[in-house]
Structure formats: C-alpha cells, structure tokens
Structure 1
Amino acid sequence: MPTEVALLESRTLRAERMGRVDALDKVKGLVMLPDGIHVRAEEVACYFEVSTTTLKRLTDRHQRELTENGMRILRGSDLRVFHSDMMSLWKGEEAGSYPQAATQLRLYTRRTVLNVAMLLRDSDIARRVRTHLLDAEEDLRASCASLDRRVSRVEGCLAGVGSALQELGPVLSRMSHRLDVLDREPDGTHRDVGATGPRLSDVSEGIARLDSRMEDLAAGLREWGGHRPRG
C-alpha cells in the first residue's frame, strides 16, 4: 500500500484516487457555491485552514494537474455570465451578499479540492483526508483478501462435490438402466394381454353355444317327459 509521502510525490498515485471525493466530507464539510459544483479559492483555503496565499502558491506550482481536474480561472465575459448565473440561484437578501470578483475568479470542483488535499503538506485537514484515503484503501484490500479466502473455500467445497458426483455416476447409470427395464416390462404385459383377448372371446362364444345346446336339450327332455306313456 502506498504511504502518505508517496501520495504527495507521485502524480500517478494521486490520479488513481481522484474519484474518492467522498473522503472530503468524511473529514470536514465543504462550502460550495449555489450551483453545488464549484468552490471559490477562499472557501478552499478555509476548508484546509490555510491562507489564500499558501493555496495560490500551491495552485501555481501544480496548475496543469489541477486544471486537468477541474480548476478554472474566469475573466471578462465568462466571469460576468458566471456571476449572473450565481445571482439567479441565490434568493432574497442572499443575492445582495454574493461575493463578486472584479477581474478574475479561480474556481475549484470537489475533484480539484481532493487533488489539493493530496498536494498540500502543511495542513492538518489535508493530512486527515490523505489518511482517510489510505485507511479506506487498506480496509478495501483486507475485504478483498477475506473475499478471496471465502471464494477459495467455496471452490474447495465445489471440488469435493465434483468428486462425489463422479462416484455417483456409475450408480446413477445402473439405476437408469433398471428403470428402463421396468418401463419395458409393462409394455410386454400389455402385448400378452392383447394377444389373450381374442382367445377369451372365442371361449366366451363357445360357452354361449354350449349354453344354447343345453337349453335345447333341457327343452327336449321336458317335452319327452310330457308325452311319456303312463303305466
């Protein structure tokens, strides 16, 4: 993990952490202009509890880096348009107290203020912001390491499940074969029953004919008995 000194000296390390603007609010509230986007140099200096002169020297030394991260200097018509926009956002008596710069205005964004925090050496607030960034990164690393260990344990368990499934494979195959045999047996039974059907019909017809002949025989006997001579 990088140290605070490395963060102060390496532009690459600062660029990697430029999205962590939430670190500013974790340390101290930052007063924004009415648009909620920009901050004047006076408010930035107040946030870091340094003089505007100290802040200007820093921004002059690192102007290119800070400009890439949102710092702007407004003059002329751009400045007048910006003041007009800010005045329209302020309400009531606040509009009359809005501080207007006469010739130029240096504006910062939250991203730029975080950039200043990673550059400003002689500020306790800036040091606290840097500490928060590094501590949060360390916590994230620890969480990732813990997650890696948990994933490794899950992978180990899955490997055991894979071995168990391989051992169950032959058993499942035998069970599947037996089920296929059982499925085929009812089919054979159905065929046998189907073949027996016509034979049973023939037997039923034979019995019917036999019953008819027996009835004819019984009728003949009754008739013969009625005409038998009496002694």
Structure 2
Amino acid sequence: MINETALLESRTLRSGVLERTDVLDRVKALSLLPDGMHVTTAMVAAYFEVTVKTLESSVEDHREELLASGYQVLTGTRLALLKRASGIQSRSRSLALYSRRAVLNIAMLLRDSEVARQVRVYLLDMEYVARAQPVDNPAPTDTSAQDARIDQRITHILGRTVVPMFNALIATSGEHRHELIELRRDIENVERKLCWHHKRLATLEGDTPADDVRAKLKAMTWQAFEHHVADLLRRDGCVDVVVRQARTDRGIDITGRTADGRTVAVQCKNRSGHSTVPSADMQKFAGAARAIDHVDVALFVATCNFSHESEAVAKLSGVVTVNREELEAWSAGVLLKALQ
C-alpha cells in the first residue's frame, strides 16, 4: 500500500493519482473562478491555510511537475481575455492559475499544511479501496471445481458487501472531517469573541488599563484608518485590496475580492464615538455599491454607531454595517462573518 511519505517523495506516485480531484471537495470546499475550472494563487493558499509565500516556494521547487498537471501563468492577450470573461480586477501583468489537478498536486507537496495532510490521507484511503476491489482471475488448474465455486462466491460477497461498506465508511469519514474543520473554525472564532468580551468587561471593571485597540483606532487619521481596514480585509483572506483615498470615490474607499471571488466595496468613517452615521451617508454608499458598481459584499465600517435611519437603509439595500464595538472586535482578531 502507498504511504504518505512515499507520496511526498515520489513524483511517479503523485502523477498516478492526479485524477482523483474529488477528494479536494470531500476534505474542504474548493472555490473556483467564474470559469468553473481554475483558482488563483491566493485562493489555493486560502484553501490549504498557508501563506502565499509558502505556496509560491513550493511552486518554484516543483514548477515542471505542476506545469504538467495544469498550472499556468497567463500574460498578455490570454490574461486580458480571462479578466474580461471572469471580471477579475487586477493591474498585475501576469496571473498564475491552477487547475483542480494542479491543486491536488500541491496537496501532495505541502508537508506542513494540515489541510494538505488530510487530502493525502483521504486520497490514500481511496487508493487502498481501489486496489482492494475484486478482480476476475482464472481458477487454478490444480483445484477442484467445488473450491473454485467457493472462491467465486467469496469474491462475489466481498465485492457486493464488504468493499461498498468500506467505500461508504470512507466517504462518511471525509464528510465528517469537513464538518469538523468547519466546526473547529467556528469554535476558534467564538473563542476570539469570548476573549474580546472578557477583556472589555475587565476594562469596564477597572482591572486592566484602557483598551489598546480602542486607543489605537481613536488615534488614527482617516488615511491610516482606511489602511487599517484594508489590512483587516487581507487578514481575512481578501485579495486585490485597493485603498482609493480619493475624494471622488462616490462613497467607496476600498475595493477587493473575497477568497472565493466575490467583489467587495468598503466605506470607512473615522468619527468621534459620540457621533452616528446619518442616513444620507448610507444612501450615498448604498447607491454607489449596489446601483453603480454592483458589488457582492458592501461594508460600511465606522468608529462610531449608526443612526436608526441609516440602519434601516442598510438593511433594505443589503449593506453590512460594522459599528464601533464590532470594529474593535474585528481589529482584535475576530473574523468578519460577511467575508467568510
């Protein structure tokens, strides 16, 4: 039976299982570009929960192998056609794309990624079951006809009962593994929120100094605040994040894309904590984000709270509001649900 170490070391073994790309979705949902065939470097890194630098280093070490499995770098006319067809907004002159086979290939190269390890384990389980499938062999000439019939009956029973049972168990194991991964993420986010609220309560009770996050946000200029929000977007997996910092932005300060390809537009308001965001500001942003740019995720992030009227406008137009308390929690490490 092929083991994990052999798979990591042997290109020949890896090439023999590249068609089993269905294991990727059994371990974790793999988001594709609008063409339904490819993913970008940032999307692959997000899938395996590694840095882009780690992924690019692996690509550099095994470029020839990955090119054979569907990895490619688009430039010039091909890149322009892809941008036009998929709506990708990037000023880069080149774009690396991975097919599903190339992503599976990466899973067999990344030693330190827990997601990649789970893909390898599931892949090896499936390979073992495939090798254990019964095959038709001619009955030996030195056995009796009765023995041959018994062998055939055993083979039939194994093929109809035991092997399908193992297949079902392995498939169920993969589904449960995916659920456990999602559950682990939810628990980690709850832990962050509990730590954040515990810290806030301790601050209110006077057991700790004034909250560092709130103090840092309060000291930011509007330019620094927009860059801070852009960094939070990148931390939560967004790519192509651009801070406009122009007064003719129609209410949109930051643009980008989530890890699964959804477009994002953000309006930032750095105001005193006693102020509220009026409905006029919300209407302007909602019109720009929804009616003009047609973005998928519209975020209005403020260092204060929102008026009742602006909250109502946001709800009607599908704008996600992030008020002072939510911003402080986001800055402290809590993931923003709208980006997941």
The TM-score bracket by the shorter chain reads 0.5 to 0.7
User: C-alpha distance in 1, partners of 2:121/2:61?
Assistant: 23
| Deviant stretches of 4+, over 4 Å | 151-155
Aligned to 1:133: 123
Q: What's the CA shift for 1:47?
A: 0.3
**Which SS does the other structure have where 1:137 is aligned?**
helix
With a CA cutoff of 8 Å and minimum separation of 6, indicate the structure with the bigger relative contact order: 1
Q: What's the CA shift for 1:15?
A: 0.6
User: C-alpha distance in 1, partners of 2:17/2:146?
Assistant: 32
Q: What's the CA shift for 1:107?
A: 0.3
Q: What's the CA shift for 1:108?
A: 0.3
Aligned to 2:8: 8
Q: What's the CA shift for 1:100?
A: 2.4
Aligned to 1:28: 28
Specify which of 148, 163, 166 is matched with residue 156 of structure 1. Answer: 148
**Which SS does the other structure have where 1:106 is aligned?**
strand
Q: What's the CA shift for 1:26?
A: 0.9
**Which SS does the other structure have where 2:73 is aligned?**
strand
- Decide which structure has greater strand share: 2
Aligned to 2:77: 77
Aligned to 1:111: 101
- Specify every segment of 5 or more residues in structure 2 that has no aligned partner in the other structure, as ranges: 151-340
Matching residue's letter, 1:33: L
Q: Are positions 1:86 and 2:86 aligned together?
A: yes
Aligned to 1:216: none
Q: What's the CA shift for 1:148?
A: 5.9
User: C-alpha distance in 1, partners of 2:10/2:118?
Assistant: 18
Q: What's the CA shift for 1:82?
A: 1.1
Change (3 A) 1:132 1:75: same
Percent identical:
45
Q: What's the CA shift for 1:101?
A: 4.5
1:109-138 deviation digits (Å, cap 9, x = unpaired)? 100000000111010000000001111122
TM-score normalised over the length of structure 2? 0.40
Structure 1 or 2, whichever has the larger Rg, is 1
Change (3 A) 1:83 1:135: same
Q: Are positions 1:66 and 2:74 aligned together?
A: no
Change (3 A) 1:155 1:83: farther
TM-score normalised over the length of structure 1? 0.58
Matching residue's letter, 1:103: R
Matching residue's letter, 2:32: M
User: C-alpha distance in 2, partners of 1:68/1:37?
Assistant: 16
Aligned to 2:225: none
Change (3 A) 1:101 1:40: farther
- Decide which structure has greater helix share: 1
Change (3 A) 1:29 1:101: farther
**Which SS does the other structure have where 1:113 is aligned?**
helix
**Which SS does the other structure have where 2:95 is aligned?**
strand
Across the aligned residues of Structure 1 and Structure 2, the Cα RMSD in angstroms comes to 2.4
User: C-alpha distance in 2, partners of 1:72/1:59?
Assistant: 11
Aligned to 1:45: 45
